[in-house]
Amino acid sequence: MVVATQSLEELCINSIRFLAIDAVEKAKSGHPGLPMGAAPMAFVLWDKFMRFNPKNPKWFNRDRFILSAGHGCMLQYALLYLTGYDSVTIEDIKQFRQWGSKTPGHPENFETEGVEVTTGPLGQGIANGVGLALAEAHLAAKFNKSDATIVDHYTYVILGDGCNMEGVAGEACSIAGHWGLGKLIALYDDNHISIDGSTDVAFTEDVSKRFEAYGWHVLHVENGNTDLAAIAKAIEEAKAVTDKPSMIKVTTTIGYGSPNKQNTAGVHGAALGADEVALTRHNLGWQHEPFDIPQDVLGHMNKAIDRGSSYEAEWNQAFAAYKAKYPAEAAEFERYLSNKLPDGWDKVLPTFTPEDKGIPTRKHSEVCLNKLAPILPELIGGSADLTHSNLTEIKISGDFQKGHYENRNVHFGVREHAMGAICNGMALHGSGLIPYGATFLIFTDYMRAAIRLSALSQAGSIWVMTHDSIGQGEDGPTHQPIETLASLRAIPDLTVIRPADGNECSGAYKVAIEKAKQHAPTLLAFTRQNVPNLAGTSIEGVAKGAYAIVDCQGTPDIILIGTGSEVSLCVEAAAKLTSEGKKVRVVSMPSWELFEAQDAAYKESVLPKAVTKRLSVEAGSSFGWAKYVGFGGDSVSIDRFGASAPGGTCMEKFGFSVDNVLAKAKALLG
Amino acid sequence: MVVATQSLEELCINSIRFLAIDAVEKAKSGHPGLPMGAAPMAFVLWDKFMRFNPKNPKWFNRDRFILSAGHGCMLQYALLYLTGYDSVTIEDIKQFRQWGSKTPGHPENFETEGVEVTTGPLGQGIANGVGLALAEAHLAAKFNKSDATIVDHYTYVILGDGCNMEGVAGEACSIAGHWGLGKLIALYDDNHISIDGSTDVAFTEDVSKRFEAYGWHVLHVENGNTDLAAIAKAIEEAKAVTDKPSMIKVTTTIGYGSPNKQNTAGVHGAALGADEVALTRHNLGWQHEPFDIPQDVLGHMNKAIDRGSSYEAEWNQAFAAYKAKYPAEAAEFERYLSNKLPDGWDKVLPTFTPEDKGIPTRKHSEVCLNKLAPILPELIGGSADLTHSNLTEIKISGDFQKGHYENRNVHFGVREHAMGAICNGMALHGSGLIPYGATFLIFTDYMRAAIRLSALSQAGSIWVMTHDSIGQGEDGPTHQPIETLASLRAIPDLTVIRPADGNECSGAYKVAIEKAKQHAPTLLAFTRQNVPNLAGTSIEGVAKGAYAIVDCQGTPDIILIGTGSEVSLCVEAAAKLTSEGKKVRVVSMPSWELFEAQDAAYKESVLPKAVTKRLSVEAGSSFGWAKYVGFGGDSVSIDRFGASAPGGTCMEKFGFSVDNVLAKAKALLG
Contact B401 A201 (CB under 8 A): yes
Q: Which of B30, B492, B644 lies at the smallest CB-CB distance from A483?
A: B492
Angle between helices B416-427 and B124-143 (to 10 degrees): 60
What is the end-to-end Cα distance of chain A in Å, rounded? 85
Angle between helices B416-427 and B167-179 (to 10 degrees): 70
Q: Which helix (H) or strand (E) holds A495?
A: strand A495-497
- C-alpha–C-alpha distance, residues B588 and B325, integer Å: 51
CB-based burial of residue A145 (10 Å sphere; 0-12 exposed, 13-18 middle, 19+ buried)? Answer: exposed
Residue in chain B closest to A178 (alpha carbons) equals B204
> A280 pLDDT exceeds 70?
yes
CB-based burial of residue B499 (10 Å sphere; 0-12 exposed, 13-18 middle, 19+ buried)? Answer: buried
Give Cα separations from B562 to B255, B544, B549, B590 (angstroms). Answer: 57, 15, 10, 8
Q: What letter would DSSP give residue B196?
A: T
What's the rounded mean pLDDT across residues A288-313? 98
Q: Which helix (H) or strand (E) holds B550?
A: strand B547-550
- C-alpha–C-alpha distance, residues B181 and B133, integer Å: 7
Residue B621: pLDDT band by 50, 70, 90 thresholds? Answer: very high
> B340 pLDDT exceeds 90?
yes
With an 8 Å Cβ cutoff, is A411 touching chain B?
yes
Is pLDDT larger for residue A195 or for residue A94?
A94
Residue B212: pLDDT band by 50, 70, 90 thresholds? Answer: very high
- C-alpha–C-alpha distance, residues B572 and B586, integer Å: 10
Q: Which of A101, A196, A449 lies at the smallest CB-CB distance from B387?
A: A196
All structural domains of chain A with their residue ranges: 18-308, 361-525, 545-669
Which residues between 481 and 510 in chain A have a beta carbon less than 8 angstroms from any beta carbon of chain B? 482-483, 486-487, 489-493
Residue B294: pLDDT band by 50, 70, 90 thresholds? Answer: very high
With an 8 Å Cβ cutoff, is B387 touching chain A?
yes
* Min Cα separation A322/chain B (Å): 34
What is the end-to-end Cα distance of chain B in Å, rounded? 85
What's the rounded mean pLDDT across residues A470-488? 98
Q: What is the pLDDT of residues A489-543, one digit of tens each?
A: 999 999 999 999 999 999 999 999 999 999 999 999 999 999 999 999 999 999 9
Of A116, A166, A312, A416, the catalytic one is A416
Residue in chain A closest to B174 (alpha carbons) equals A205
- C-alpha–C-alpha distance, residues B139 and B336, integer Å: 10
pLDDT score recorded for residue A4: 57
Which residues between 153 and 172 in chain B have a beta carbon less than 8 angstroms from any beta carbon of chain A? 161-163, 165-171
Do the two domains A18-308 and A361-525 of this chain adopt the same fold?
Answer: yes
pLDDT score recorded for residue A1: 47
What's the rounded mean pLDDT across residues A76-82? 98
* Min Cα separation A65/chain B (Å): 19
What's the rounded mean pLDDT across residues B189-199? 93
Residues ≥6 apart with Cβ < 8 Å to B190:
B161, B207, B224, B249, B250, B251, B252
Q: Is the dihedral angle over the CA atoms B627, B630, B631, B636 positive or is it negative?
A: negative
Angle between helices A228-240 and A33-44 (to 10 degrees): 60
Q: What is the pLDDT of residues A246-270, one digit of tens each?
A: 999 999 999 999 999 999 999 999 9
* Min Cα separation A228/chain B (Å): 28
- C-alpha–C-alpha distance, residues A123 and B417, integer Å: 13
The answer to whether the beta carbons of residues B560 and B628 sit under 8 Å apart is no
pLDDT score recorded for residue B464: 98
With an 8 Å Cβ cutoff, is A314 touching chain B?
no
* Min Cα separation A195/chain B (Å): 6
Contact A195 B388 (CB under 8 A): yes
For residue A361, the SS3 value is: helix
CB-based burial of residue B570 (10 Å sphere; 0-12 exposed, 13-18 middle, 19+ buried)? Answer: buried
Q: What is the pLDDT of residues A216-233, one digit of tens each?
A: 999 999 999 999 999 999
pLDDT score recorded for residue B309: 98
Contact A104 B643 (CB under 8 A): yes
Which residues between 577 and 606 in chain B have a beta carbon less than 8 angstroms from any beta carbon of chain A? none
Q: Which of A415, A264, A202, A207 is nearest to B414 (CA)?
A: A202
- Domain spanning B545-669, CATH architecture: 3-Layer(aba) Sandwich (3.40)
- C-alpha–C-alpha distance, residues A396 and A657, integer Å: 40
* Min Cα separation B432/chain A (Å): 25
Q: For chain A, what percent of residues have pLDDT higher than 90?
A: 99
Contact B624 A486 (CB under 8 A): yes
ipTM score assigned to the predicted complex: 0.98
Q: What is the pLDDT of residues A648-664, one digit of tens each?
A: 999 999 999 999 999 99
Report the DSSP beta bridge partners of residue B145. B148
The answer to whether the beta carbons of residues B177 and A205 sit under 8 Å apart is yes
* Min Cα separation A147/chain B (Å): 31
Q: Give me the total of CB pairs closer than 8 Å, taking one residue from chain A and one from chain B.
A: 350
Q: Which helix (H) or strand (E) holds B548?
A: strand B547-550
Question: b/e map of B359-381 (b: 16 or more CB within 10 Å)?
Answer: bbbbbbbbbbbbbbbeebbbbbb
With an 8 Å Cβ cutoff, is B176 touching chain A?
no
Residue in chain B closest to A391 (alpha carbons) equals B196
- C-alpha–C-alpha distance, residues B471 and B463, integer Å: 20
pLDDT score recorded for residue B1: 47
For residue B460, the SS3 value is: coil
Q: What is the pLDDT of residues A388-434, one digit of tens each?
A: 999 999 999 999 999 999 999 999 999 999 999 999 999 999 999 99
CA-based angle B411:A199:B169, to the nearest 5? Answer: 60
What's the rounded mean pLDDT across residues A308-337? 98
Contact A105 B399 (CB under 8 A): no
Which CATH number does the domain B361-525 belong to among 3.40.710.10, 3.40.50.720, 3.40.50.970, 3.30.540.10? 3.40.50.970
Contact A195 B389 (CB under 8 A): yes
Residue B5: pLDDT band by 50, 70, 90 thresholds? Answer: confident
Q: What is the pLDDT of residues B408-457, one digit of tens each?
A: 999 999 999 999 999 999 999 999 999 999 999 999 999 999 999 999 99
The answer to whether the beta carbons of residues A245 and A177 sit under 8 Å apart is yes
Q: What is the pLDDT of residues A52-63, one digit of tens each?
A: 999 999 999 999
Residue B161 annotated as lining a ligand binding site: yes
Question: Mutating which of B445, B484, B609, B652 best tests the A interface, going by the most A Cβ atoms within 10 A?
Answer: B445
What's the rounded mean pLDDT across residues A114-127? 98
Give CA A305 to chain center in angstroms. 30
With an 8 Å Cβ cutoff, is B414 touching chain A?
yes
Measured between beta carbons, which residues in chain A are less than 8 angstroms from residue B626?
624, 626-627, 630
pLDDT score recorded for residue A5: 77
> A3 pLDDT exceeds 80?
no
The C-alpha R_g of chain A, in whole angstroms, comes to 28
Q: What is the pLDDT of residues B46-80, one digit of tens each?
A: 999 999 999 999 999 999 999 999 999 999 999 99
The answer to whether the beta carbons of residues A449 and B197 sit under 8 Å apart is no
Measured between beta carbons, which residues in chain A are less than 8 angstroms from residue B480?
none
The answer to whether the beta carbons of residues B288 and B280 sit under 8 Å apart is no
What's the rounded mean pLDDT across residues A321-342? 97
> A235 pLDDT exceeds 50?
yes
Residue B392: pLDDT band by 50, 70, 90 thresholds? Answer: very high
Contact A210 B206 (CB under 8 A): no
CB-based burial of residue B58 (10 Å sphere; 0-12 exposed, 13-18 middle, 19+ buried)? Answer: exposed
pLDDT score recorded for residue B4: 57
Which residues between 65 and 124 in chain A have a beta carbon less than 8 angstroms from any beta carbon of chain B? 70-71, 97-101, 104-106, 108, 118-122
Domain A18-308 grouped into CATH 3.40.50.970: yes
Q: For chain B, what percent of residues have pLDDT higher than 90?
A: 99
Q: What is the pLDDT of residues A124-158, one digit of tens each?
A: 999 999 999 999 999 999 999 999 999 999 999 99
pLDDT score recorded for residue B159: 98
What's the rounded mean pLDDT across residues B12-16? 98
- The residue type found at A159 is L
Residue A175, phi then psi, degrees to nearest 5: -75, -30
> B2 pLDDT exceeds 80?
no
Measured between beta carbons, which residues in chain B are less than 8 angstroms from residue A473?
29
Residues ≥6 apart with Cβ < 8 Å to A91:
none
Report the DSSP beta bridge partners of residue A495. A522
Q: Which of A171, A387, A446 lies at the smallest CB-CB distance from B449?
A: A446
Contact B644 A106 (CB under 8 A): yes
Residue A121 annotated as lining a ligand binding site: yes
Measured between beta carbons, which residues in chain B are less than 8 angstroms from residue A105?
474-476, 479, 644
